[in-house]
């Protein structure tokens, strides 16, 4: 039993790492722009396919491909905001329509991915490996890498938000765009930068997700989206630290639940936590003003 517990705890940590990357990316963007991106699941998918094309199609080194794919996804986020979403917000369309736009975008992107890469399963070629033992835990090299990438990225986000001018401006915009603007913050530039970070984190999350599940096909990101929502809402919408906390809780809860129920139902655990949060504490663990 102890071994099973340790094993699930290990899986939980890995899922939490994947989720943390995705949830923080979504939460940062939601905080600054104040609307939810329903195409975010396809951001994850696209990131993984970029990495696959770079490493398989162009024969680049796997880790170089991962870095490039994340960068490309960041750029993709910036361009998407500049040419599609920003024009809509500047036109002053109601929140409703903006959400329908991102919803339409998710259909467009998921089918674009299907048209380009086809419906068959793909795998990133990871080196064959033997698991390392850490006390009761067993981790493979790629699993350790996933945890390391997430940890470094979370530390990076923390330093960005607390130590840099641009990060502080992001937090200011998240509190109030109007107040940020009157105090001289270039909100357009900060929004662009936020999309860069959000896209890059989504790309990374997609890549580490497929490292964890080995093979992937075009719908995997969209199917993971509501688990990301669960983490973001549980933690507190718009709060990056809440998203990290939410990711940890959801990651551990979904994997640990496999001890008690059929593992086919682990997504239902995330769903149950989402519903409970909305019923009992819609603001999430960390309450942010104006986001509920």
**Nearest CB to other proteins, comparing residues 203 and 238:** 238
Residue 172 Cβ vs other proteins, minimum distance, rounded to whole Å:
21
- 23 is an interface residue for other proteins by CB under 8 A: no
Q: Name which of residues 78 to 117 contact other proteins (CB under 8 A).
A: 84, 87-88, 93, 95-97, 99-101, 103-112, 114-115
Give the integer Cα–Cα distance in Å for 41 and 221.
4
Choices 7-15, 193-201, 251-259, 261-269; region in contact with other proteins by CB under 8 A: 261-269
- List the one residue from 9, 265, 281, 285 that touches other proteins (CB under 8 A): 265
Instruction: Indicate whether 292 belongs to the interface with other proteins (CB under 8 A).
Output: yes
Near other proteins by CB under 8 A: residue from 16, 205, 274, 286: 274
Minimum separation from the CB atom of position 248 to other proteins (A): 20
Of the pair 4, 261, the CB lying nearest other proteins is at 261
What residues pair up with 132 in beta bridges, in sequence order? 139
Where in 26-45 is the site for other proteins (CB under 8 A)? 35-36, 38
| CB nearer other proteins, residue 182 or residue 264 | 264
Q: Report d(CA 246, CA 228) in Å as an integer.
A: 9
- C-beta of 61 vs 111, nearer to other proteins: 111
Interface with other proteins, residue 151, by CB under 8 A: no
Contact call for residues 290 and 278 (beta carbons, < 8 A): no
CB of 36 to other proteins, least distance (A): 5
Q: How far are the Cα atoms of 124, 197, 234, 275 from residue 74, in angstroms, in the given order?
A: 21, 6, 25, 31
Query: Residues 210-249 vs other proteins: string with x where CB under 8 A?
Result: ------------xx-xx--xx--x----------------
Q: Shortest approach of other proteins to residue 168 CB, angstroms?
A: 26
Alpha carbon distance 250, 266 (integer Å): 10
Smallest separation (angstroms) from other proteins to the CB of 201: 19
**Shortest distance, CB of residue 108 to other proteins, whole angstroms?**
3
Distance in angstroms (rounded) separating the CA atoms of residues 158 and 57 = 35
Q: Which of 167/246 has CB closer to other proteins?
A: 246
Tell me which residues touch other proteins (CB under 8 A): 35-36, 38, 84, 87-88, 93, 95-97, 99-101, 103-112, 114-115, 118-119, 222-223, 225-226, 229-230, 233, 264-265, 267-268, 271, 274-275, 278-279, 282, 291-292
């Amino acid at each position: 039993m102890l071994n099973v517990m340790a094993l699930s705890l290990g899986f939980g940590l890995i899922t939490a790492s994947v989720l943390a990357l995705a949830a923080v990316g979504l939460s940062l963007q939601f905080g600054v722009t104040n609307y939810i991106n329903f195409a975010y699941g396809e951001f994850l998918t696209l990131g993984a396919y970029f990495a696959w094309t770079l490493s398989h199609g162009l024969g680049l080194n796997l880790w170089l491909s991962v870095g490039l794919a994340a960068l490309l996804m960041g750029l993709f986020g910036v361009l998407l905001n500049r040419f599609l979403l920003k024009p809509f917000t500047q036109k002053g369309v109601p929140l409703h329509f903006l959400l329908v736009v991102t919803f339409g975008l998710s259909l467009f992107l998921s089918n674009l991915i299907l048209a380009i890469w086809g419906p068959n399963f793909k795998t990133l070629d990871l080196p064959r490996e033997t698991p390392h033992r850490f006390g009761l835990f067993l981790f493979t090299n790629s699993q350790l890498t996933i945890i390391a990438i997430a940890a470094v990225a979370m530390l990076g986000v923390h330093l960005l938000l607390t130590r840099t001018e641009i990060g502080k401006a992001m937090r200011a915009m998240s509190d109030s765009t109007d107040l940020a603007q009157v105090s001289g913050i270039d909100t357009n530039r900060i929004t662009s930068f936020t999309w860069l970070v959000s896209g890059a984190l989504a790309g990374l999350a997609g890549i580490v997700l497929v490292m964890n599940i080995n093979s992937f096909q075009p719908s995997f990101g969209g199917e993971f989206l509501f688990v990301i929502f669960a983490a973001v809402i549980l933690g507190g919408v718009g709060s990056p630290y809440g998203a990290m906390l939410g990711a940890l809780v959801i990651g551990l809860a979904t994997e640990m639940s496999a001890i008690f129920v059929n593992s086919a139902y682990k997504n239902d655990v995330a769903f149950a936590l989402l519903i409970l949060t909305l019923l009992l504490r819609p603001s999430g663990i960390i309450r942010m003003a104006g986001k509920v």
